[in-house]
Amino acid sequence: MAAAAKTPVEVSITWRGARSWATRAQVQAAVTAAAQTGRTRLRHVSIVFVPTREMRRLHRVWLADPSATDVITFDLRDDGEQQEGSCDAELIVGAEHARRVAKERGVPALRELLLYIVHGVLHVCGYDDHTPRDRQAMRRAETRTMRALGWADDPLPHDD
């Protein structure tokens, strides 16, 4: 993978049907840190925060799974040259899901939300979590990134 640029990634943020509860700076920092951990240069990432009902619908439509989930990642880069100003990736993030899971796990909701963003960006950077070995590598990268953002290690492992 190519080395990540030191400049921040341009981030577009939309809160669709969910009340905004994370700042632009917090979201920007999570995207930039994850891209640096993943050693991938990203120019522009679009993030759409949605409520649980919408996340279930999108998860069913795109992945044939009707359950709520944390983040759905779309890598929009192609093998050829990208047009100037085009988006590298879109993340659909379950904002209400983050609040619910954070409460169950006893962690701050903001930490959980930023973890979902980090997880989605790491997918764009080539990390996967379908096999135990890949999942371990993903969790290590998540931990490094969350530490870089100033968050303590996760007290409980996430179930997959």
In a domain, 156, yes or no: no
Q: How many domains is the chain built from? A: 1
What residue numbers bound the domain in which 94 lies? 10-148
Q: Band of the pLDDT at 8, cuts 50, 70, 90?
A: confident
In a domain, 155, yes or no: no
Q: What distance in Å separates the CA atoms of residue 69 and residue 59, rounded to the nearest whole number?
A: 7
Is the whole-model pTM more than 0.85?
Answer: yes
Q: What is the pLDDT of residues 134-143, one digit of tens each?
A: 999 999 999 9
In a domain, 110, yes or no: yes
Q: Answer yes or no: is pLDDT of 130 > 50.
A: yes
In a domain, 4, yes or no: no
Q: Answer yes or no: is pLDDT of 159 > 70.
A: no
Nearest residue to 94 via CA among 85, 86, 106, 102: 102
Q: Answer yes or no: is pLDDT of 77 > 90.
A: no
Q: How much is the pLDDT for 19?
A: 86
Report the DSSP beta bridge partners of residue 44.
Answer: 10
Average pLDDT in the chain: 88
